[in-house]
Homo-oligomer: A and B are copies of this chain.
Amino acid sequence: MQLTLEAIARQIGGELHGDGATIIRGAATLADAQPGDLSLADDPRRATDVGRSAASAVITPPGFTPEGLPSIQVANVHEAFAAAVCLFRPPRARRRVGVSPQAIVSPSAVIAPEADIYPGAVIGDDVMIGPGCVIHSGACLMAGCKLGRDVTVFPNAVLYEDTVVGDRVLIHAGAVLGAYGFGYKTVDGRHMLSAQLGYVKIENDVDIGAGTTVDRGAYGPTVIGQGTKIDNQVMVGHNCRVGQHNILCAQVGIAGSTSSGRYVVMAGQAGVRDHVHIGDMAMIGPQAGVKDSLPGHARYLGSPARPERENALLWSSLAKLPELRKQVRALVKEVEELRLKKAA
C-alpha cells in the first residue's frame, strides 16, 4: 500500500509543508524509519534525530519545519501519527465470538448477551459478566466474581472467588486478583494462615498490568481506586486501599493494610511497608523504600525514603566525604604542629 503525503495530510487533518507528491509506504519512529516511511518528531529539539533518520517525511507540531524533509504539522503529533500508522497497518477488527462453545461456563453464571467469552476461558458458579466484556482464552473467573461493563480480561488472568470489578477495566495476561493474603500467626512453631474472608474490589477505569497480583482482604475488600493504572509485576497486599488515579509503575510492592490518597505516583521497584498512608499527589521515586506514612504533595526518594531535597543533600554530602576526610587529616597535622610550637 502507498499514499501521497498530501493524501495523508488530508486524512489526518494536518498542514502540508514541502512536496505533497512524496510517496509514503509505511510509518515508523525516527530510529526505525526506512526510505518511504512517514515518521514523527514531537519537539523541535529532535531536529538532529530528524536529520539522521532515513524517513521520507515527518509529522511535527506547528512551527517546526525540519530542513530538507517534507512535513505535516498538526497540534497533536502523537494522535496524528497513530492515525497514520493505522492507515498502513489497520488494527485487527474485534471479532465477536459470543459465548464460545469451547469456553467452560457454569450454568449458574449470568453473562450479558453483548459479552465475548473466548474458547478455553473458565467462568465459575454465580459469576456475573456485564455487556461489552471480553474474557480471553485461559482466563479464569472463579465463583461469585462480578464484572461491570466493557471489562477486558486477557488470557490466563485469574480472578479468585468473589472479585468485584467495575466498568472499563483492563486486566492483563497473568494478573492474579484475590489470592490469599500473606498473614500468619505462629503457634507452636508453625505458621498458621489468617482468615481469608475478604475479596478484591477493582473500581472503574482501572488498568491492571501483566503478572500483577492483588491479594484479597482478610475480612473485607482490598480496593484499587477509580482511574488507577497499575503496570506489570506489581504486588498489592491484603487490605490495601489504593486511592483514585494512582500510577503504580512496574515491580512496585505495597505491603498489607497500606493506603494511598489521590494521584499518588510510585516509580518502578519502589516498596511501601504495611499499615502506612501515602498522601494525595505524593511521588515515590524508583527503588524507594517507604517505612512511614508520608504527607502528600511532595516527592520522596531513597531507601529509606526521605523528602527529595533532604535526599539530595545527603547524597551531595556523601560525594564530598573523601574530600572531607582529606581536610580532617590536614587539620590533625596542623593542630599537632601548633601544639608543638606552643610547647617549644
Contact = CB atoms under 8 A, between A and B. Distances in A.
A314 B303 contact: no
A321 B311 CA distance: 12
A325 interface: yes
A65 interface: no
Nearest to A322: B317
A91 B304 CA distance: 40
Contacts of A250: 182, 213, 235, 237, 253, 255
B136 A140 contact: yes
A122 B289 contact: no
B182 A172 contact: no
A234 to B, nearest CB: 9
A153 to B, nearest CB: 12
Interface residues of A, number: 108
Interface in A144-170: 144, 154-156, 158, 160-161, 170
Contact of A247 (B158, B191, B339): B191
B286 A81 contact: no
Contacts of A119: 104, 122
B211 A193 contact: no
Contacts of A136: 140, 142
Interface in A179-200: 179-180, 182, 184, 189-191, 193-195, 197
A143 interface: yes
A53 interface: no
Interface stretch (A9-17, A43-51, A225-233, A292-300): A225-233
A86 B195 CA distance: 10
Q: Count this chain's copies in the assembly.
A: 3
A194 B245 contact: no
Of listed A179, A189, A193, A317, residue having the most chain B CB within 10 A = A179
Interface in A191-220: 191, 193-195, 197, 205, 207, 209-211, 213, 215, 218-220
A70 interface: no
Contacts of A142: 136, 155
A1 interface: no
Contacts of A220: 28-29, 32
A287 B27 CA distance: 38
Contacts of A342: 338, 341
B324 A89 contact: no
A204 to B, nearest CB: 11
A92 interface: yes
Given A92-B144, A176-B174, A213 B213 contact: no
7 contacts: A122-B137, A136-B142, A215-B232, A251-B251, A251-B253, A253-B268, A317-B325
